[in-house]
Structure 1
Amino acid sequence: MKFAVLVFPGSNCDVDCYKAVEQTTGQPVEYVWHTETDLSSYDVIIVPGGFSYGDYLRSGAIARFAPVLTALTEAAAAGKYILGICNGFQILLESGLLPGAMLRNQSLKFRCHSSRLIVENNGTAFTKDYAPQEIVDIPIAHGEGNYYCDADTLEELKANNQIVFRYEQNPNGSVQDIAGISNKEGNIVGMMPHPERAVHKLLGSEDGKRMFTSILNTWREKNGAAVNG
């Protein structure tokens, strides 16, 4: 199984994601620069957090036009597994790979602290190692994490079980306390909290580790590989 971590000018969580994959799965992982046009050799693609292109215009708005986004769209259509974290989630929204948009935090302040999340959907490729309605501790760090969608989109998200995580206590004003969503097929997940910052007790929580083991186990099951304990 091969992981890609996309890197844009302004990414600052790419190393964290690389190390999280390396330490939780033991699988090959590579950085992929934003100018690349082919992602076909990767099984999982992570779009990390940070401030791509300085968050000019709005978060993710310029990254959406990077050459690698064409390849990412093709990978999504091919059923590859994609995880967008924080700025990566914003990029997935801007590109139309996930529905909705991000607004400034209601407080107009950057929020950076632990957050308790409710696992609303443990049926996605990235959440299968969690229990339904489990409470997990995964930190946030964002200024534009206020997820918004119109009423029709919200009803569609609910009907298709696309709401993956909700905040136990909403830190940013996001509609229905949404912290993360998926596409209908469940192979693409976007979330504002940072699971790569919660993979070891020394970091304050290891609840994020299971997002990486989930995708590894999902891939192994799909490809008939034995799952190590």
Structure 2
Amino acid sequence: MAKIYAIPELCTGCGECVSICAFGAIKIVDGLATFNENCVLCGVCVDACPENAIVIEEAEKEERRAETKEFKNVWVWAEVEEGKLSKVALEMLALGRQLADELGTKLEALLLGGEGVSRFAGELIRHGADRVYVWEDPKLELFHDEVFSDAIVKLAKEKKPEIFIAAATTFGRALMARVAAELKTGLTADCTELSIDKERRLLLQTRPALGGNIMATITCEDTRPQMATVRPHMVKPLPPDDERKGE
């Protein structure tokens, strides 16, 4: 059975791991980070700890790391709000396009909504998507994180995306946290920058830490997909390309 723990001699109880954990799995008890049953062993807290005090048993990490080779392509959630494709969806497509190009892989958009939502698929392709997965159902007319996440998790288990990003909106934060928990992978919230370590095929996720006093770059080496929410307005949408083809 895998274990995660903080080394008492190194842990200062600073709470950075608590603030970075998207699953509410960490608490500081008597000055020491402790972990509860919500932990998915994603490793985000390991990278974020300024004292290198958090440890995941290596055997479990190696097993998970071997499985990451099965995953490919970059996913973007294309948020629809009040029957319209949101501007942040196009911003995330522009960012996703950069990541996919660096990895030499495809960019795929997830489009969920009520009747008629499929009309936005062409716009997503013109703005950078190679493929669009469409769920059109009256049950998806209004956002509900459980209903949306059930559909996405089912497809993610089948298609195995390497990276999955969304805008850090109210809906995006709720959806991505639930999806990450179901897939037992890491999630870095409210990123201000994303880039790629090509050699290791790692998503470098940069966000403010320690009350905004420093910028921390976080990686998720051992689980997939690598997931992040990104603050709106960090990138500009790509200009539409009417000649662009997609699926």
The TM-score range, normalised by the shorter chain, is: 0.3 to 0.5
- Structure number, greater radius of gyration: 2
Higher strand proportion? 2
**TM-score of the two chains, using structure 2 as the length reference:** 0.33
**Greater RCO structure (CA 8 Å; 6+ sep):** 2
